[in-house]
Structure formats: C-alpha cells, structure tokens
Amino acid sequence: MQTITRKAYAKINLALDVVRRLENGYHEVRMIMQTVDLYDELTFQKTEGGISLTVDTTAVPADQSNLIYKAATLLLDSAGVTDGVSVHLQKNIPVAAGMAGGSTDAAATLLGLNELFGLHYTKEELKALGVKIGADVPYCIQGGTALAEGIGEILSPLPAPPAAHLLIAKPDIDVSTAFVYRNLHLEAVTKHPDIDGMIAALHAQDLKGITDRLGNVLETVTVPAYPVIAQIKEKMISHGAQGALMSGSGPTVFGIFEREEDAQGAAEEIRTQGLAGQVFVTVFGT
C-alpha cells in the first residue's frame, strides 16, 4: 500500500476550565473534549526520501512550521525510516479557531504514517510522541468524548452525548491563543464550569444537563474584546439552541440544537447578517 487517506476531525470544548497557571507558562486545565463531524482530509504517499507537503489553501503554511511536517519528521526519525513521504492537506476546519485544526492534522499524520510504513506503534506510544508537538495532539489521536486534564494530555474517556444537531460559526476575526491566555485573570474569574456535573450528565445521557453546564472561562477574555462572539451566541439561542458556547480560545462559537431546522435557520441568519464567514451544520463525531 503506497497511498492512504485519513480524516482529521475537529473538536469543540463542551466545558473548559483553567485551574492554575504553571511555572513553565503552561496552564493546568480541565476540559470536556468532543469530536465533531467536520474534518480535514490528508493523503499520504510514500516517496524515496524527504518530506514534502502541499495544502489546498494559503490560510495555513505549507512549510516546516506546519504541524503535519513536524509530526512526520518526529515519527519517521524516531522509527529510523529512511523512505520519505509526500502529504496533501485538504483544509476544511476553520484555522486559528479553537477547534484544534493543527493538532488534529498532526494526530492524523502520526496515525496515517504508522499505517503507511507498517510501524506498529500503539496508540499510547503515538500519544507520547504527539504531546511533544502540542498538548491537544494526544486527545486528537484518541477522539470521541473525553475529560482532559494536566495541560490537556491526561485523558479519561467519557460516554458520547445523546444525538443532537450542532451549529458551528467562525467569525472573520483572528484570535491568538497566546493573547487569550496572557489576558486571562484567573483570580477575577468567579464562575467556573461545573465539569463534574457535566460528567454526571454524560453518564445519565441527559442532554439538558449537558447544555445547562456549557462553560468556558476563556470567554471572560474574548467576549468583552470581540462582541461578535456574544452576538452569535444570542442568535443561536434565539433560534432555539439549548445552549451555545465559544470553543477553546475562540473565536468559533457552537450551538447545540434538538431540531435540525432550528440549526439551519440560525445558520442562515448568521450568514446573511455577516456575523460569521464559516458556518457549518453538523453533528457530534465519535
């Protein structure tokens, strides 16, 4: 087998809490991660040597700073592979959006090249390599629903939420993760998401218990700085969303709907009012 294709799924955070700032500048977090059915597609082809990358958009770099390049280098070096690979990325996940687009591409690269070169690394071994690239990469290798602790790399699988319709809207603004964490004043955050309550609601398969507990402490930074985030949330709620929240460090907002027509109606209005340039109606992934 010389060529393989892999899907790299995006994630949302049903809940995101920051516990404390660590000495090394990282943050200790507690997050409920959820795969969504929105994905990039990566095609890997064996070559005689070296790593080459093409991307179908100029929105992400196609050079050595791309996390795909870093993941391929790390895996091939660690396994002592002397053959090379050419990778093509079809980018569908919004970029710099809080949906782990880069991390999931890195995860798909580790999984894809493990298969293409018959390396037989276990998922746990790939996660240990992946965390060197980014804190979200181990979760992207695992996928599904999970509690992520530590810097995001300590994972406990959870039951998937009951089926629902998701609306994902990325406004046309760039929000850097570094800006958000730099401006997070933890001591001033009075409302932390009820993560343990959400875990119980997942076990009970109680969609309302989940949507009542959506929460992200990073909104305390982004919502005042970018009012469009609150406007999109309000639009989703007024169209019948059971809950709406910013994902990760933003600026993407997701809404959870029981009825697909309501999600479509909200999508239509968000598009026509120009609140977000990238809008998707989808479902939870596994």
Q: Which of 17, 105, 136, 262 is catalytic?
A: 136
Q: How far apart are CA 95 and CA 10, in angstroms?
A: 11
State in angstroms the smallest separation of the CB of 177 from ligand ATP.
5
In this complex, which beta carbon is closest to ligand ATP, that of residue 116 or of residue 201? 116
Report which residue's Cβ sits closest to ligand ATP.
102
In this complex, which beta carbon is closest to ligand ATP, that of residue 32 or of residue 201? 32
Active site residue 136: yes
In this complex, which beta carbon is closest to ligand ATP, that of residue 99 or of residue 147? 99
Which DSSP string corresponds to 240-277?
T-SEEEE-TTSS-EEEEES-HHHHHHHHHHHHHTTS-S
Q: How far apart are CA 276 and CA 286, in angstroms?
A: 26
By CB under 6 A, name the binding residues for ligand ATP: 60-61, 65-68, 95-103, 105, 136, 177, 248-249
Q: Which of 11, 70, 91, 127 is catalytic?
A: 11
State in angstroms the smallest separation of the CB of 179 from ligand ATP.
11
- Dihedral of the alpha carbons of 215, 220, 221, 224, in degrees to the nearest 10: 120
State in angstroms the smallest separation of the CB of 209 from ligand ATP.
25
Strands (E), the chain: 3-21, 27-47, 51-55, 84-90, 145-149, 154-157, 165-170, 215-216, 243-246, 253-257, 278-283
State in angstroms the smallest separation of the CB of 274 from ligand ATP.
22
Active site residue 123: no
Point out the residues that are catalytic. Answer: 11, 136
